[in-house]
Amino acid sequence: MGDLFVTGAISVLMLLLMAIPGFVLGKMKSVNSEAAVKFLSVMLLYVLQPFVTFDSFLNTPYDGKVLLNIVAVFVFTCVTIGAILGIGALIVRFVPALEPDSKGVIAYGGAFGNVGYMCIPFLQLMRPGDYVIILYATVSVVAFNLMAWTLGNYALTHDRRHISLKRALLNPPTLSFIIALPLFLLNINFTEAASLTGAAKELVDGIAGVISFFSDMVGPLAMVLLGLKLSDMSFKQLFTDPRVYISSSIKLVFYPLLSAALICLMSLIMNVSEISLNLLALSAMPCAQNVIMFSTVYDKDSALAAKEVTVSTLLSIVTIPLILMLLSVLPA
């Protein structure tokens, strides 16, 4: 149990250290923070996340157990996000002091975690060189996008017009998954190409190296992005808004505990040992940054959304290692 806490704490600390350059640059006004954040966001979404998907799939030989786990991770992510969305919406209904625009933001923030920009680099630090565990994380990102553009948007706006299955499918992480999955099923990967010789081997090794290089950039750039955003925040205003503790409690405590209970139930019908870290880690991540984007687009309480993301991220430095200790008591 202690080893899990220490490993998790060190991994979170390493992520936090990666955010320092962005924070310093933002505070020194060395860069245009707004332009830098926009550039890094585009790089992460349109370039680096697809490379993470290809890197994990093309370094994983086909295995029926892995395919079963892919399905399990996808279903688990969709079910838990949907359940927490419903529970969060129910909780905020009984808080009369909340404004209508704030209720959707809180429910959304409690259900959607930072799977792509924080969970993936966190798992890369926890299990360096483990392509399969990152493969499962990319599956969670696909499920996340599906839920975000459908039930997530509805929970935020209460307007069916903002449900977009098209956008849930036509985004870089999902499209890269759609391309990579058939390659996995056909067992087309770098492992199978290891027997090549000469120029063909050099070409394949070069392609593998480029993909790996871009994949490894996700963690540093995502944390620099976070550091830039933190540099614009007033910490006094952040922690004096009681509303952020509602969404943070749902996201950082209730969601992981519900996930742990569901993992125990899943263990009755399948072996969860290879995916339990993925499932618990994705549930323990802080509020997703896209709650800021969606709340801004739909004229909801975007200021609250920004506070949710920042406060939950800072609190997760403590909660993530604590939640990971549950792995020692979950079924193997």
What is each CA distance from 272 to 154, 213, 290, in whole angstroms?
32, 30, 29
Confidence of residue 102 (pLDDT cuts 50, 70, 90): confident
CA-CA distance, 301 to 313, in Å (whole number)? Answer: 19
130-151 pLDDT, tens digit per residue, is 999 999 999 999 999 999 999 9
Burial 131-145 (b: 16+ CB within 10 A, else e): bbbbbbbbbbbbbbb
Q: What mean pLDDT do residues 99-117 have? A: 89
DSSP string, 133-182: HHHHHHHHHHHHHHHIIIIIHHHHH--GGG--HHHHHSSHHHHHHHHHHH
Provide the pLDDT for residue 247.
92
Confidence of residue 332 (pLDDT cuts 50, 70, 90): low
1 has a pLDDT exceeding 70:
no
CA-CA distance, 227 to 229, in Å (whole number)? Answer: 5
204-235 pLDDT, tens digit per residue, is 889 999 999 999 999 899 889 888 888 877 77
Work out the mean pLDDT of the chain and round it to a whole number: 89
180-209 pLDDT, tens digit per residue, is 999 999 999 988 777 777 888 889 889 999
CB 101 within 8 A of CB 300: yes
Q: pTM of the prediction?
A: 0.90
The pairs formed by 329-332 with CB atoms below 8 angstroms and a separation of 24 or more are: 329/1, 330/260, 330/263, 330/264, 330/267, 330/272, 330/276, 330/280, 331/263, 331/264, 331/267, 331/272, 332/267, 332/271, 332/272, 332/273
Residue 64 dihedral angles phi and psi, to the nearest 5° = -60, -35
Instruction: Give the residue from 39, 17, 20 showing the smallest Cα distance to 28.
Output: 20
Beta-carbon contacts of 138 under 8 Å, excluding residues fewer than 6 positions away, are: 49, 52, 53, 56, 57, 120, 173, 176, 177
Neighbours of 195 (CB within 10 A): 7
152-171 pLDDT, tens digit per residue, is 888 888 888 878 888 888 88
Q: What mean pLDDT do residues 22-36 have? A: 88
45-78 pLDDT, tens digit per residue, is 889 999 999 999 999 999 999 999 999 999 999 9
CA-CA distance, 255 to 319, in Å (whole number)? Answer: 12
Residue 287 dihedral angles phi and psi, to the nearest 5° = -55, 140
Residue 163 dihedral angles phi and psi, to the nearest 5° = -80, 120
CB 255 within 8 A of CB 110: yes
Instruction: Give the residue from 97, 89, 100 showing the smallest Cα distance to 301.
Output: 100
Confidence of residue 83 (pLDDT cuts 50, 70, 90): very high
CA-CA distance, 242 to 234, in Å (whole number)? Answer: 15
Provide the pLDDT for residue 166.
86
Provide the pLDDT for residue 211.
95
- The top-scoring range by mean pLDDT among 76-85, 87-96, 120-129 is 76-85
Residue 228 dihedral angles phi and psi, to the nearest 5° = -60, -40
Tokens of residue 51, six digits: 């490379």
Provide the pLDDT for residue 300.
84
Confidence of residue 97 (pLDDT cuts 50, 70, 90): confident
Q: What mean pLDDT do residues 269-296 have? A: 90
Confidence of residue 15 (pLDDT cuts 50, 70, 90): confident
Answer CATH for 2-328 from 3.30.420.10, 3.40.50.970, 3.30.70.890, 1.20.1530.20: 1.20.1530.20
Provide the pLDDT for residue 286.
93
Type of residue at 274: E
Q: Which is higher by pLDDT, 1 or 242?
A: 242
Provide the pLDDT for residue 277.
92
Confidence of residue 331 (pLDDT cuts 50, 70, 90): low
